[in-house]
Each structure stands twice: as C-alpha cells, then as structure tokens.
A = this chain, B = another copy of it.
Amino acid sequence: MSTKASNTTAPTQFLQAGNERYAFRRFGSGPGRPLLCLQHFTGTLDNWDPAVTDPLASGREVILFESAGLGRSSGKVPASIAGMAAHALAFVQGLDIASCDVLGFSLGGMVAQQMALDSPSIFRRMVLAGNAPRGGEDIMHLEKPSLARYLQDPTLKGYAVLQKLFFAPTASSQAAGEAFIGRLVERKGDREPLSGPEVAGAQIAAFREWEQFTSPRFGDLRRIQQPTLVLNGIHDDMIPVSNSYRLSENLPNAVLLTYPDSGHGSLFQFHESFTRQVAAFLASDSPSAAY
C-alpha cells in the first residue's frame, strides 16, 4: 500500500459511538484543524474524489464520515437533516475532537449547517459546496424531467448516471466527469457497499423536510457565525445556484465562489482550483471569511 495520504488507499476504520458503529477514513497530517467531510445523497466513503481529498490532506487530517445506514455504518438513515446531524455530532464527539473544520457537499452541507446550529463551537471554519439553506428551493427533485431523463435512461448504468447528473451537458464538463469517475474507481479493495433504495428514500424525505421553513425565511442562518466559504457550479440542476446566493446573502460571514461550465460536481471538475481555494480559506486566521 502506498504511504501517500489518499482516499484511494486509506483503510476504512470503525468507531462505536452512542448506539452505532460508524465507518470512516482518516488520513493526512499538517498544521490545520482536522477537516470533517460530509457526503452527498447516497454517496459513501468511496464517492470522495481523491483529487479533492488528497491535496487537502497534505495540510491537515482529512476525516471522511459515513453516516448511519450507509456503507458499512450500522443503523438506519434518518428521514431528517437533524437526525443526520445528531449522528455526525456523536461521531465527532466519539473521536474526542472538540473543534474542527468541515467540508459539506450537497446533503453533507445541510448536515453541517444543522450541526453548527446545534453545537455552535464544533466548527472553526465551514466549506459548503453545492448546498442549500433550510427553506431553499428546488432541492434534489429527481422527478423533474431534466434529471429524470438520466435516472430513467436504461442505457446509463452506475457511475455513468452520476457523470450526467453531476456535470454540465458540455463536452468540457462531461470530460471532467469522465476523469472524476476514473478517479473514483482507482480504489481497488476495502470498498463500501452501494446505497440502495431505502437510503435514497430516507434522504429524499430529509430534503423535502429541509425545504420547509418558518418565518423569517433563512432566519436560522444569522446564527451561524463561522467564517464560511460557499461554492457552487453555476449550472447546477440538482441544487440550483440560487440556493448558494441565499446562503451567502443570509450567513453573516460567508464568501461565495461559483464556477463556470459546471453543475453539481463543480468541486470535482475544478479540483485544482477548489483545493487551492479551500486550502487558502482554511489557512486563514482572520475573523472574516474573506481570504
């Protein structure tokens, strides 16, 4: 096994915390706080692109978390973001980490927001990619025709669907998607079982609950004081960029960065830029999110 800190080779570990046994991977080192990585809809530890995790692991420990009911973690997927946040908080406390940084992608970013509300001191800095606030709009409506056409296409199988869903319908974005898929399959053994319809159903229910809000809309965001970097592909059809606009308008201390020619997977498409920007953001000690 390579000694390079990488999600391609890091062994899957397990932690008993509360009532569950969580799968996770932990690799890398450096002066930064540990970076907790929270995953997208149906994604497992194997869905973290090494081109994103590995460069970040050169400056800090990267900790990939598998929530309850996914992969080899025990338990059941909660039907709410709050339920998922409780699992992630139990895991971080189980690791005896008092404060860390967080990278939440898509569903994982919603979990990160809820964690910051439930436990205000748990995060130092937050990175929210392809995300939406509570009360956001058009969050993961897989039934809409522009997404359903890929999910219902019998000629697309496995990762080929992910490539269509995560990347924009341009030659350049699809080529980046193909490279992304190639990186995901580099890990040869010790892989997680794929998510089934039960996982998807509970997570979709959580998205629907997350779309609900009480007045004032986006009011919760004022309570998230952490410097936050919000990132989004400009042509994201799974969680439209307008949701990232609302995040950066209502979070008191957020920088927004959007990428051109890209969809939900813009962080994977522009992994060199993304890891450079995130590393610079995390390296900052400023009270402001501006970096």
A81: min CB distance to chain B, Å: 24
Report Cα–Cα, A253/B234, bound state, in Å. Answer: 10
Contacts of A291 in B (CB 8 A): 273, 276
**Taking the complex as formed, is A252 at the interface, i.e. its CB lies under 8 A from any CB of chain B?**
yes
Q: Which residues of B contact A259 (CB under 8 A)?
A: 255, 290
A251 at the interface (CB under 8 A from B): yes
Which residue of B245, B252, B255, B257 contacts A245 across the interface (Cβ within 8 Å)? B245
* A273 and B290 form a contact (CB under 8 A): yes
Query: Are B260 and A255 neighbours in the complex by a CB distance under 8 Å?
Result: yes
Chain B residues closer than 8 Å to A254, beta-carbon distance: 234, 260
CB distance A255 to B252 under 8 Å? no
Contact B249 A234 (CB under 8 A): yes
Measured in the bound complex, the distance between the Cα atoms of B235 and A262 in whole Å is 26
In the assembled complex, A289 has its CB within 8 A of some CB on chain B: yes
Asked if A86 is an interface residue, CB under 8 A from chain B, the answer is: no
Asked whether any CB of chain B lies closer than 8 Å to the CB of A256, the reply is: yes
Residue from A256, A272, A276 whose CB has the most chain B CB atoms within 10 Å: A256
Cβ-defined contact, B260 with A257, below 8 A = no
When chains A and B are docked, how far (Å) is the Cα of A289 from the Cα of B266?
Answer: 13
A288 on the interface (CB 8 Å rule)?
yes
Q: Is residue A258 within 8 Å, beta carbon to beta carbon, of the partner chain? A: yes
Smallest CB separation, A179 vs chain B (Å): 14
What residues of chain B lie closer than 8 Å to A289, measured between beta carbons? Answer: 260
A64 at interface, CB cutoff 8 A: no
Contact B257 A256 (CB under 8 A): yes
Closest to A249 in B: B234
A276 to B255, CA, bound (A): 15
Q: How far is the CA of A291 from the CA of B249 in the complex (A)?
A: 23
State whether the Cβ of A38 lies closer than 8 Å to any Cβ in chain B: no
- Which residues of the partner chain B approach A272 to less than 8 Å between Cβ atoms? 290
Q: Is A63 in contact with chain B by the CB < 8 A criterion?
A: no
Alpha-carbon separation in the docked complex, A248 to B245 (Å): 12
Which A residues lie at the B interface, using CB under 8 A? Answer: 234, 241, 245, 248-249, 251-261, 270, 272-273, 276, 288-291
List 6 A-B pairs, minimum CB-CB distance, nearest first: A273-B290, A256-B258, A270-B290, A253-B260, A254-B260, A259-B290
A-B contact pairs, 5 of them (CB 8 A): A234-B248, A234-B254, A241-B245, A255-B260, A273-B291
